[in-house]
Structure 1
Amino acid sequence: MTFKFKEPSLKTKETMADVALNGASKNYEESIVSKIKGHTGHENVRVTNSGNASIFIALSGVGENIIIPDQGAWNGFKQVANLLNKNITILKTEQGIIDSEDIEELENNSSLILTSFAGYSGEQNLKEISEACKEKSITIIEDASAGIGDRKKRLGNGEYSDIILTSTGSPKIINAGSGGIISTNNREIFENTKIQQKIVKPNEIILSGIDVELDNIEKKLENTINACSYLKNNLDNVIHQDKRGLNVIIKDQKPKDLSWNLKHELEINKSGFITKCPNYNRVKEKAVAIEIKNLDYCCLTKEKLDLIIEKVEKFKNQ
């Protein structure tokens, strides 16, 4: 085995096992709320049993008009919006990146749901997007599953996003194997979704895991971003080459062949390391995504990254 799929930390596993056997030793939910407030700056926080549950709460609590990027987001956005019978507008992007000028054409009092990183690969300019949305009274819902804990405070920041949600399932930055979080300064979101919140409430075992995983997320996120930057600086034909991200998407005319070769050369103990495009959740063009975000942090070494570069150079455009 060359690479290892990201798992909850040993401390997280031990804490969850202890809670399963002996019950909770503290109020884990209260601790999570306090930590998330410190990251997002939002006053109101709820913990859920999954990222999709957090999306469900967010979209249940806003108006009928939902704006979704045409690529580079999460297909669950559209699925949940359809389930709730929302009116969906598809926003054209540049390989998932939103141009704030395009927001001027959107309907007032809508809600825009997006991910911190387009396709996990290109950082959205949340500051510019936020300024444009405020002019149109558009609510920003940021899925910060990949952006929570940003030391630069450009992502997962309540100054820019009205609602921030995360998945805490595997292999996210907060990796408890399950669960989700949602935060906002708009208390009405939670006042209007009390029934939904009861349906998606997590158990104490998951709460304990999330609480432990919230420690050191800044370092975990930064290490992953730095690893991707190293790859982007040493590979050609990379989409969003100059942007921060958690994966590396390489344009290739034969993505099926490249992904097949890389999967066989870059061995990992689980699937989910190589993604073939076109793929709505990444980009809608021929490419292959190397999901650095899915790797255990022990694999983010120069030796391992150089191996990825070597194999990509060997097989690209064959």
Structure 2
Amino acid sequence: MFKFKTPSKKTKEIMSEVALGMHEDVNYEQNALNKIKNLTGHENARITSSGNNSIFIALSSIEGDIIVPDQGGWHGFKQIAKFLGKKIITLKTDLGLINPDYIDYIDFSENSALIYTSFAGYCAEQDTKAISQYCKDKSITTIEDASAGIGDAEQKLGCGKYSDIIIASTGSPKIINVGSGGFITSESDEIFAKTSLPQKLSKTNQIICSGICVELENVNEKLELTVNATKHLKNSIDNTLHADKRGVNVIIPHANAKEISWKLKKSLPTDKSGFITTCPNYNRVKQKAIAIEVKNLAYDCLEKQYLEKIIEEINSLL
């Protein structure tokens, strides 16, 4: 039986203690903010009530158009931009991967922003450095949703050196996993000065902040473990999408994706929510495919015997 990722035992313990009124002398919100700023390299940060609220704050600060990838992003980007009355411009991608040269073929207003995820469809890391360099030349603000990429030891993802604004969810089953909450960071204090109201509407509490503090203690190791497990699967399964890229899930294009996914769910059962999804799906790729959501699994289920079971079952059906 595969286990769905949940907050660690230590995280749940500290959150329970704070909920019971213990540790009242500790400012967990400030501690969490300090850790997040150190992790991203950004001077300013705020804890929010959810990842979507972080997106809301980020997009509220943008005066121009919102550029979104044509696939491999997060549907909340478009939903929130539409709610805010922003003009949405869809950018063609290479199956989710952003090629900055494609920006030359779209029309956008001044003070626009490009919002994208660290990993295209969770499958392949974006070239944040190239995206950053190009967008700076075009005066486009870059907003990186680093929910799945925060803690990158290579300092390419969730890195303030490249992304103007970094947002993240700390809900389940993200890398920082406390079941709720999120954050937003930027080097620019103007972004926060312009969004005081949505920030007030997105306040969180010391319980969530205490959990974030604990989860941040080993976020680098958790991301690396997930990326390495995904790499092993990609190396052992034929025809995976973006096989040479780091990612936290495996996407396998297939004409019979729905049928194969159904069989895999039967042979690879989980204790709660599943880790096998089906495409087409804007959040992954817009073609028929099976997605193995490695990021959803408990870390002890990323050990070799579990990975070999996944490989065996998938290869038997392809």
Q: Which residue of 2 aligns with 1:271?
A: 273
Q: CA deviation at 1:260?
A: 0.2
| 2: CA distance, partners of 1:190 / 1:276 | 38
| Letter of the 1:292 counterpart | V
User: Structure 1 unaligned runs (5+)?
Assistant: none
1:169-224 per-position Cα deviation (integer Å, ceiling 9, x unaligned): 00000001000000001111100111111111001111111111111000000000
Q: 1:193 to 1:148 in 2, by over 3 A?
A: same
CA RMSD of superposed structures (Å) = 0.9
Q: 1:118 aligns with which of 90, 96, 120?
A: 120
Alignment of 1:184-195 (within 5 A): 184-195=186-197
Would you say 1:52 and 2:87 are equivalent positions? Answer: no
Alignment of 1:15-26 (within 5 A): 15-23=14-22, 24-26=24-26
1:251-281 per-position Cα deviation (integer Å, ceiling 9, x unaligned): 1111110110000000101123111000100
| 2: CA distance, partners of 1:105 / 1:139 | 18
Do 2:276 and 2:292's aligned partners in 1 also have CA atoms closer than 8 Å? yes
Do 1:19 and 1:25's aligned partners in 2 also have CA atoms closer than 8 Å? no
Say which SS state the counterpart of residue 214 (structure 1) adopts.
helix
Q: Which residue of 2 aligns with 1:35?
A: 35
Q: 1:222 aligns with which of 221, 224, 228?
A: 224
Q: CA deviation at 1:113?
A: 0.2
Do 1:71 and 1:283's aligned partners in 2 also have CA atoms closer than 8 Å? yes
1:70-118 per-position Cα deviation (integer Å, ceiling 9, x unaligned): 0000000000000100010000001100112112334353100000000
Q: 2:177 aligns with which of 148, 171, 175?
A: 175
Q: CA deviation at 1:46?
A: 0.2
| 2: CA distance, partners of 1:35 / 1:104 | 37
| 2: CA distance, partners of 1:83 / 1:272 | 31
| 2: CA distance, partners of 1:121 / 1:270 | 23
Using structure 2 for the length normalisation, give the TM-score. Answer: 0.97
Alignment of 1:242-257 (within 5 A): 242-257=244-259
| 2: CA distance, partners of 1:289 / 1:9 | 25
| 2: CA distance, partners of 1:270 / 1:251 | 26
| 2: CA distance, partners of 1:82 / 1:217 | 33
| Letter of the 1:231 counterpart | L
| Letter of the 2:289 counterpart | A
Q: CA deviation at 1:135?
A: 0.9
Using structure 1 for the length normalisation, give the TM-score. Answer: 0.97
Do 2:62 and 2:111's aligned partners in 1 also have CA atoms closer than 8 Å? no
| Letter of the 1:17 counterpart | S
- For these two proteins, the number of residue pairs brought into alignment is 315
Give % identity: 58
| 2: CA distance, partners of 1:22 / 1:135 | 50
